[in-house]
Amino acid sequence: MKKRFRRKWKRIVVTILLVSICTACGKAQEDHRAADIADRAALGSEQAVEMEVVVRTVRERVMDGEKTAQTVETSVIEETETVQTEEKAATVMLDEENKEAGWSVDFEIIRKAYHCNEERNDINIYYPQLTGFADAAKEERINALIEEDAKKWIGETNKEGDDSLYSLDLDYEVKFLNDRMISILYKGRRGYFMPKDAKLRGKAVATTIDMEEEKVIALKDIADVSKLGDMLLADKFKNITMWDGSILEVEASTVIAIYEDGLEADLQERHSWYTDGEHFIIVLADPKYCDYLEYSIDIESVRHILDETLLKKLE
């Protein structure tokens, strides 16, 4: 008798589960419900009550599952809408940055990238491009100038057969922008991965472009490099580069003592500069103390050694 009851019990439970699953899938349940009722009628009242509780519990779980599915679906929709909102926000983000930085311009910045991952090279350079000029031809020429200047920092790449991996990663920050000038700072890392070693160093370079004249302004174009060297040696500039969250206490005179014999030539060819509109910043490549250092001074303190025509373009 017990075995027969157990067999019936198992058959009923299986039937109930099948009925519940079909209900969740939205299929017809009439035949299974009829069988369910018939089987329960054969049982005693106590067992029938117990089975009713089981049925109700299973159905409640199915309903909970459906609610969970609806919640997940709603969550996916909300996340999709969030992504779409973020994408829309990204299209105006740079324009908002222009406003926050106080840049009053009628054009926008677009982020572009150059990648080279061939012949054991891993090169990634991000650089700005401008859009929205009234003069489309001028816009194209300035963008070509920015792109060409950014790529010049690649240097000599690996050739086929080299056993090392040449790596260069540079990202940019626009430090100053108006209708006549743009000043850009690039920072990242450069070096080689070899079979048993890796030599990566921090790298920083800067570019300032005269958009009226459509040319890159080198240090020698804006400053009297001889007098600039004297001011660096006299430690008139302040180190502003953060390393590991703090400024490395290294004076400019200590750094450039390495290049003192050829300092003027290095200032013309090796080192770069940028401005934020209020300060004049020199980026010194330094192989001894750290990878690079930036030294800043108020523009008013060096106005006497800077080209006045170019200074007026910063106003």
Contact 94, 109 (CB under 8 A): yes
The CATH class of 106-217 is alpha beta
Quick one: average pLDDT of 192-205?
80
Q: What is the pTM of this model?
A: 0.66
Count of CA atoms in the C-beta half-sphere (13 A) of 113: 9
In this prediction, residues 5-34 reach a mean pLDDT of 44
Residue type for position 1: M
DSSP E strands in 27-67: the ranges are none
Q: Across residues 245-249, what is the average pLDDT?
A: 78
Give the closest residue to 125 by CA, choosing from 150, 162, 156. Answer: 150
In whole angstroms, give the CA distance from residue 200 to residue 126: 19
Q: How far apart are CA 78 and CA 72, in angstroms?
A: 10
Q: What is the pLDDT of residue 117?
A: 85
Find residue 125's DSSP bridge partners.
114, 170
Q: CA-CA distance, 253 to 233, in Å (whole number)?
A: 4
pLDDT of residue 147: 96
- Could you read off the pLDDT of 119-153 as tens digits, one per residue? 788 899 999 999 999 999 999 999 999 999 999 88
User: For residue 73, what pLDDT band results from cuts at 50, 70 and 90?
Assistant: very low
Q: Residue 276: is its pLDDT beyond 80?
A: yes
Rounded alpha-carbon distances, angstroms, from residue 287 to 102, 154, 290, 293: 36, 18, 6, 10
Higher pLDDT, 230 or 83: 230
* DSSP code for 270: T
pLDDT digits (tens, 9 = 90+) for 289-300: 568 889 999 999
Rounded to 10 degrees, the C-alpha dihedral 59/65/66/67 comes to 110
Lowest mean pLDDT among 102-106, 258-262, 297-301: 258-262
pLDDT at 20 over 60: no
Task: Give yes or no for a contact between 211 and 181, defined as CB atoms under 8 angstroms apart.
Answer: yes
Domain map of the chain by residue range?
2-75, 106-217, 218-315
Kindly provide the b/e burial profile for residues 215-247, where b requires at least 16 CB atoms within 10 angstroms of the residue's own CB: ebbbbeebbbbeebbebbbeeebebebeeeeee
CA atoms within 13 Å, Cβ hemisphere of 59: 13
What pLDDT score does 172 carry? 96
Q: What average pLDDT does the structure give for the chain?
A: 74
Report the SS3 class of residue 224.
coil
How far is the C-alpha of 140 from the C-alpha of 75, rounded, in Å? 44
Q: What is the mean pLDDT of residues 27-51?
A: 44
Q: Residues 145, 148, 153, 156: is their CA dihedral positive or negative?
A: negative
pLDDT at 288: 60
Q: 189 - beta bridge partners?
A: 169, 202
- What is the band of 278 on the pLDDT scale with cuts at 50, 70, 90? very high
The residue-averaged pLDDT of 43-49 equals: 45
Question: What is the average per-residue pLDDT within 66-80?
Answer: 45
Q: How many angstroms separate the CA atoms of 7 and 244, rounded?
A: 72
Residues 6+ away with beta carbon under 8 Å from 169: 123, 124, 125, 188, 189, 190
Cβ-defined contacts of 304-309 (< 8 Å, 24+): 305/223, 305/224, 305/227, 305/228, 305/231, 306/222, 306/223, 306/280, 307/221, 307/222, 307/223
